[in-house]
């Protein structure tokens, strides 16, 4: 190779890198706590594909709603329900037509102790536990689903003195994982993310015991001109991501 060709090659490489850096953008996403780990994986794949950075803020859907109303700088919301994105849409706080269902969650009763939770959930009626963890029913859809299960099983009043309430389902999961609670209602995806040696015992809650955990995403008003935010939401609709989410314990539309 001549020195001229070498120089041209270096220049081409530098221009390519500069073009990539110039086109890379940042997306700020509010993500429901149950979807935190899966979204980290989605964000990594998206960055590898596009170069765009995804900055995640993890929390309870109800808390995010209040923050968005108060002007929080989120480009998109991945909620743990369908109602919150619908409400934001009705209030003209999101981009019309951008809302879609990205996942349907599954609720489980889980203990870090092997053998504590039976496959029919009889442990709840037996009451042989000191603390039961749930996410806040006022803030977290998974908490509302847990309350619905307990009420339909007729044990809500009996277990209320034993409840340990997390702000979101991630905090609830931590309560159980650290054995500060004997058992708790968490997302199936959280348990599936564990090493099998730490999986403990669980009951996958029959879906008829609570409203479906339909999880919608929406592009917020702040993100309407953020091309990277639109590309991220499109990427989440792809067959690749839907297949990945099924493996993680979610259903997809």
Q: What is the pLDDT of residue 198?
A: 86
Question: Would you say the C-alpha torsion 185, 186, 192, 197 has a positive or negative sign?
Answer: negative
- Asked whether the predicted pLDDT for residue 22 surpasses 80, the reply is no
- Asked whether the predicted pLDDT for residue 2 surpasses 70, the reply is no
Q: What is the pLDDT of residue 75?
A: 98
pLDDT digits (tens, 9 = 90+) for 26-56: 999 999 999 999 999 999 999 999 999 999 9
- Asked whether the predicted pLDDT for residue 13 surpasses 50, the reply is no
Q: Are 172 and 59 a contacting pair, CB within 8 Å?
A: no
* Among 73, 74, 64, 68, CA closest to 92: 68
With cut-offs at 50, 70 and 90, classify the pLDDT of residue 196.
Answer: confident
Q: What is the pLDDT of residue 190?
A: 94
pTM, rounded to two decimals = 0.82
With cut-offs at 50, 70 and 90, classify the pLDDT of residue 4.
Answer: low
With cut-offs at 50, 70 and 90, classify the pLDDT of residue 197.
Answer: confident
The gap from C-alpha 136 to its chain's centroid, in whole angstroms, comes to 16
């Amino acid at each position: 190779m001549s020195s001229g060709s070498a120089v041209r090659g270096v220049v081409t490489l530098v221009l390519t890198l500069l073009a990539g850096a110039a086109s890379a953008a940042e997306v700020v996403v509010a993500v429901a706590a149950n979807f935190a780990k899966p979204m980290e994986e989605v964000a990594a794949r998206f960055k590898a594909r596009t170069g765009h950075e995804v900055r995640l803020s993890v929390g309870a859907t109800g808390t995010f709603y209040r923050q968005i109303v108060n002007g929080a700088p989120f480009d998109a919301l991945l909620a743990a329900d369908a109602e919150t994105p619908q409400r934001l849409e009705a209030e003209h706080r999101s981009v019309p037509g951008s809302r879609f269902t990205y996942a349907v969650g599954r609720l489980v009763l889980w203990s870090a102790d092997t053998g504590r939770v039976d496959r029919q959930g009889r442990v709840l009626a037996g009451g042989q536990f000191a603390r039961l963890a749930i996410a806040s029913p006022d803030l977290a859809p998974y908490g509302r689903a847990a309350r619905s299960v307990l009420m339909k099983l007729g044990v809500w009043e009996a277990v209320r003195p034993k409840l340990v309430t997390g702000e979101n389902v991630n905090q609830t999961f931590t309560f159980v994982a650290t054995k500060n609670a004997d058992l708790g209602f968490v997302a199936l995806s959280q348990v599936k993310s564990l090493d099998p040696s730490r999986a403990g015992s669980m009951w996958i809650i029959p879906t008829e015991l609570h409203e479906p955990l339909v999880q919608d995403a929406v592009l917020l008003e702040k993100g309407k001109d953020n091309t990277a935010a639109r590309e991220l939401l499109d990427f989440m609709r792809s067959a690749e991501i839907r297949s990945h989410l099924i493996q993680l314990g979610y259903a997809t539309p």
